[in-house]
Structure 1
Amino acid sequence: MNHLLKNKLFISTRPKGQSDELNRLLKEAGAETVEMPLIEIRPANLSEKENDILEQLEQFQWLIFTSPNGVRYFFEVLEKRGIANLPEKIQIAVIGPKTEEELSFFGYSPAFVNPGNTGEHFAAAFLKKVENNSYQPRILLALGNLARTVIQNELSGVAACMRLNVYKTVIPDLTDEKTVQLIKDNRYEMLIFTSPSAIQNFMKRFNDISAKNIRLACIGETTASEARKQGIQPLVVAKNASAQGIVESIIQYYS
């Protein structure tokens, strides 16, 4: 595997500070990497009503996190409000090992970990866990403003779900011009995308480049679906939605 990607330049579009593992794995395979964040994660501005929800967490039986960002910004909001601990009776469910790892940083362990990596996988598995309850559980989902509604929709018949957007995704103010020029001059191997919103922001920034000339790798099918919607056919779609998974899929592509 070493140096299979030698002299190939990959551009990561992940948020600033979130490409370390991806860069390390690519460099171990001989690749060069450049970062060009196309999304920026910021704390959401919660309304008074939304802040009140945080003071009444004891009303919920479950708290669901679908990403490390959701975990991070949820506990950041709690800290700002002086809430030291979650109610003892509340159980936590998460999507994926990275979200579980972030949760452990705050001293909590999930009662349920999704076996897959998507909202559809989570909803199907979690539905089996709660559908035979003698009561309808109250569930709080800590999400970002662009997160899909698939979990709430799938659980609506067996649970009372409340959504709390604790972070928001925006287009970064600045993009490095040297990296922009690499793309315009077609001097890169692949762009790496890990979210549909990054695809959308890319097309807004680079609307003068033909979609058929864009080479990209996607972290999973949800992101790949957005690429196809924009007229781009991904060269690589990771089966395992993680940095490790996307690098393994890229290496497999070149093998």
Structure 2
Amino acid sequence: MTALRGKTIIATSNVKKAEKLGNLLKNHGARMVKFPLIKISAANNPSLEKATQLNDIQWVVFSSSNSVTYFFEWLRAIQQTSHETTFKYAVIGKATAETLAQYGKKADFISSCKNAESFARELINVLGATPQQILISAGNLSSDNLLHILESKHFCRKVITYKTQKIKYAETAIQNLIQNQDNDIVLFMSPSAVEAFYTHHSADLNQTHLKVAVIGSTTQKALQAQGVTPDFMPSLPNLEVLVNEMAQYFEHNQPKV
């Protein structure tokens, strides 16, 4: 066991991502408590029905596992699955590549960058000088930074394939864990979760001794916008890296006896 043994981690991610994280933490002897502050679902966007002209698309770009999952749901909804074999795929992060592999597809380019901006610049170098036709699968709250950088050199189209909703989670027992400091760290995995927490819960909870962790630089910026500096952030936006480095964090930040 590691320094995570006996720790209580409150995770604000959506249910699907929390399940994988929970298994990883359990292997280290830690307890994860689900505190879902966002809900992910397919986008109900009429423009999706019109975006069926995919014959010219050469690359499809994914910046998250959700963008993969809901892209393939969208293809099936508009009955354009025949195009799957003609696309090349670019992804950010190992987890996104693994989700793509679940659909029988191999990423042609995998970036280990920490944010969409660096990913876009790296991909531009990979694609070379010849302009490419690119489709970006994204969520309704995603920024346009990836689109703007790529379209400076290539022809790009962004399709909103899923939506993120910020929710108020009303389970008193979990709020008491935070209020009574019966947790070791609260983990934010998206800017939306940060915003939902500080919109719906911050006024009700004692944050004096609250320790927080984030995954990803955009989540870090969202937390800093609330005037809060994260106590811990992994070197890469990857769940395995997160858990291993969190164990190291607690090993070096054990309370003095």
TM over 0.5: yes
Alpha-carbon shift at residue 158 of structure 1 (Å): 0.7
Structure 1 equivalent of residue 176 of structure 2: 181
C-alpha distance in 1 between matches for 2:227 and 2:209: 10
1:219/1:245 contact within 8 Å kept: no
Structure 1 equivalent of residue 83 of structure 2: 86
Structure 2 equivalent of residue 156 of structure 1: 151
Structure 1 equivalent of residue 243 of structure 2: 247
How many percent identity over aligned positions?
28
Alpha-carbon shift at residue 234 of structure 1 (Å): 0.9
Alpha-carbon shift at residue 88 of structure 1 (Å): 4.4
| Counterpart selection for 1:114 from 95, 111, 115 | 111
1:74/1:142 contact within 8 Å kept: yes
| Counterpart selection for 2:219 from 223, 228, 235 | 223
Inter-CA distance 153–177: structure 2 relative to 1 (3 Å threshold): same
Question: Number of paired residues?
Answer: 250
Alpha-carbon shift at residue 85 of structure 1 (Å): 2.4
C-alpha distance in 2 between matches for 1:123 and 1:211: 37
Q: 1:60-112 deviations in whole A, cap 9, x for unaligned? A: 12111111111111111222233332254432211112111111222222222
Letter in 2 for 1:164: V
SS of the aligned residue for 2:181 comes to coil
Alpha-carbon shift at residue 145 of structure 1 (Å): 0.9
Letter in 1 for 2:20: E
C-alpha distance in 2 between matches for 1:173 and 1:223: 19
Unmatched tracts of structure 2, length 5 or more? 252-257
Structure 1 equivalent of residue 96 of structure 2: 99
SS of the aligned residue for 2:10 comes to strand
SS of the aligned residue for 2:81 comes to coil
2:212/2:231 contact within 8 Å kept: yes
2:57/2:87 contact within 8 Å kept: yes
1:236/1:249 contact within 8 Å kept: no
1:57/1:87 contact within 8 Å kept: no
Structure 2 equivalent of residue 58 of structure 1: 55
C-alpha distance in 1 between matches for 2:5 and 2:93: 31
C-alpha distance in 2 between matches for 1:231 and 1:213: 15
Structure 1 equivalent of residue 255 of structure 2: none
Inter-CA distance 12–87: structure 2 relative to 1 (3 Å threshold): closer
C-alpha distance in 2 between matches for 1:121 and 1:111: 17
- Say yes or no: does 1:10 pair with 2:6: no
Alpha-carbon shift at residue 242 of structure 1 (Å): 1.2
Alpha-carbon shift at residue 200 of structure 1 (Å): 0.6
C-alpha distance in 1 between matches for 2:117 and 2:79: 34
Unmatched tracts of structure 1, length 5 or more? none
SS of the aligned residue for 2:9 comes to strand
Inter-CA distance 171–232: structure 2 relative to 1 (3 Å threshold): same
Letter in 2 for 1:203: Y
SS of the aligned residue for 1:146 comes to coil
2:37/2:168 contact within 8 Å kept: no
TM (norm. structure 2) is 0.90
Alpha-carbon shift at residue 18 of structure 1 (Å): 1.6
Q: 1:26-78 deviations in whole A, cap 9, x for unaligned? A: 2222222211111110111121x43221x211121211111111111111122
Structure 1 equivalent of residue 231 of structure 2: 235
1:218/1:246 contact within 8 Å kept: no
- Say yes or no: does 1:31 pair with 2:20: no
C-alpha distance in 2 between matches for 1:33 and 1:88: 39
- Say yes or no: does 1:68 pair with 2:60: no
1:211/1:230 contact within 8 Å kept: no
1:217/1:246 contact within 8 Å kept: no
Letter in 2 for 1:36: F
1:3/1:28 contact within 8 Å kept: no
TM (norm. structure 1) is 0.91
